[in-house]
Amino acid sequence: MKKECVGMLLAGGEGKRLGKLTGNLAKPAVHFGGKYRIIDFTLSNCTNSGIYTVGVLTQYAPLELNQHIGIGKPWDLDRQKDGVSILSPYTAKQGGSWYSGTADAIFQNIHFIEQYSPEYVLIISGDHIYHMNYKHLIKQHKLTGADATISVMEVPWDEASRFGILNTTEDLRIYEFEEKPSNPKSNLASMGIYVFTWAALKAYLLHDAEQIHSSHDFGKDIIPSMLQDGKRMYGYRFEGYWKDVGTIQSYWEANMDLLDEDSSFSLNNKNWRTYTYDSNNPPQFIDRTATLKSSLINSGCWVKGTIDHSILFENVIVNEGSTVYQSILHPGVEVGENSVLERVIVTKNTIIPPNTYLRSNQDEEPLVVDAESLKEILSIQI
């Protein structure tokens, strides 16, 4: 069955810098935005862009991620002939191996892509928060007749040295790619979103697989060698909200961005809905003693305390006299009476006893609290 474009979603990463948040689940499965998981934004972009053939490449701690995606029903990806396919590392007659890099993950699934004989392959990743219509990206790719199109966005000049920077001509044709340059010549950063003409990419994947010294990575190997060979590569200029939630600080910031009234990025955008699994919880109960301000609260919550600039996932209980400020409480968290949480992230089902005081300073990374670290903190406090 022929498909014009197949989406390949990289979701195998561990996200080491997210520390305790990825203790037993892959980064794309980390809870985000009061109801979602990080991968929901990319999957919803696929649905909203009409990309209905999606391979999800998983590797690190995939159980929760696999369960979350299931057969793709929340994203309308439960389809007869295509839809979502989970692609984990496998063994076959000729042996098998773990995915050793982003390019290797695609290389090992060439047979999956070829089932659909696509013209184009869209490479996206499950750890970014953004709304993007991939159709526009693909349209530009076709118009320019490119071999590869890389989605880029302008970043502040002083931050440019933290990104992969693309140097382009005026019509956005790329002539140079620099990974984290100390003296950036441009402020167009790669967003890790690529469209390739499949025939061109396939040749490079096959070639790259034979190089023993390659790290089999799109940014480090495939893109540079395509550039070196003078392939037609263009940038696609994206304007709008995009955030890589690679660190605890950026994870916290991206969550807080959802509370920003002026942000162009909204979960309430009816034209670009974000879909996720809905666990059918009762409506939230806001008690008489509650005070709520600038917060996102999901169903099943029971609030008796004060919530300000915070995000509460499903079934969170905040008892009387407690204050939650600039914090993120994952599903099933219970905060005992007269506790104060400030700028902390509490992981799933953690129970904070009454009269607990947890905070992190504005200038440091937010504190991540799970059941284990809570024990330690409490023993020190006493």
Q: Which is nearer to other proteins, 31 or 343 (CB)?
A: 31
Instruction: Mark the segment that binds other proteins (CB under 8 A) among 27-35, 166-174, 354-362, 374-382.
Output: 27-35
Out of 24, 67, 263, 294, which residue is the one contacting other proteins (CB under 8 A)? 294
Structural tokens at position 35: 């109801």
Structural tokens at position 304: 């008796």
CB 259 within 8 A of CB 245: no
Residue 374 host element (H or E): helix 371-381
Strand order in the sheet with 317-318: 302-303, 317-318, 334-335, 351-352
Q: Which is nearer to other proteins, 157 or 285 (CB)?
A: 285
Q: Which is nearer to other proteins, 314 or 342 (CB)?
A: 314
Out of 284, 326, 347, 356, which residue is the one contacting other proteins (CB under 8 A)? 284
CB of 351 to other proteins, least distance (A): 17
Out of 48, 149, 298, 327, which residue is the one contacting other proteins (CB under 8 A)? 298
Separation CA 208–CA 107 (nearest Å):
9
DSSP 8-state secondary structure symbol assigned to residue 76: T
Binding mask 351-370 for other proteins (x = CB under 8 A): --------------------
Residues 85-114 within binding reach of other proteins (CB under 8 A): none
How many other C-beta atoms lie within 10 A of the C-beta of residue 308? Answer: 16
Separation CA 88–CA 329 (nearest Å):
30
Out of 66, 215, 225, 299, which residue is the one contacting other proteins (CB under 8 A)? 299
Separation CA 174–CA 233 (nearest Å):
6
Label each residue of 125-148 as H, E or C: ECCEEECCCHHHHHHHHHHHCCCE
- 179 belongs to an annotated ligand binding site: yes
Residues 300-329 within binding reach of other proteins (CB under 8 A): 307, 311-312
Residues 130-149 within binding reach of other proteins (CB under 8 A): none
Q: Which is nearer to other proteins, 209 or 286 (CB)?
A: 286
Instruction: Mark the segment that binds other proteins (CB under 8 A) among 108-116, 185-193, 203-211, 279-287.
Output: 279-287
Phi and psi for 140 in degrees, rounded to 5?
-65, -40
Q: Which is nearer to other proteins, 209 or 259 (CB)?
A: 259
Phi and psi for 114 in degrees, rounded to 5?
-65, -20
Tell me whether residue 262 is exposed, middle or buried, using C-beta atoms within 10 angstroms of its C-beta: 0 to 12, 13 to 18, 19 or more.
Answer: exposed
Examine residue 122 and tell whether it contacts other proteins (CB under 8 A). no
Of the candidates 325, 377, 367, 321, the one whose C-alpha atom is nearest the C-alpha of residue 346 is 367
Residues 217-276 within binding reach of other proteins (CB under 8 A): 259, 261, 267-268, 273-276
Partners of residue 312 on adjacent β-strands: 297, 329
How many other C-beta atoms lie within 10 A of the C-beta of residue 148? Answer: 25
- 159 belongs to an annotated ligand binding site: no
CB of 84 to other proteins, least distance (A): 17
Contact residues for other proteins (CB under 8 A)?
A: 33-35, 74, 259, 261, 267-268, 273-276, 278, 280-299, 307, 311-312
**Residue positions in the annotated binding site for alpha-D-glucose 1-phosphate?**
99, 164, 179-180, 190
**Residue positions in the annotated binding site?**
99, 164, 179-180, 190
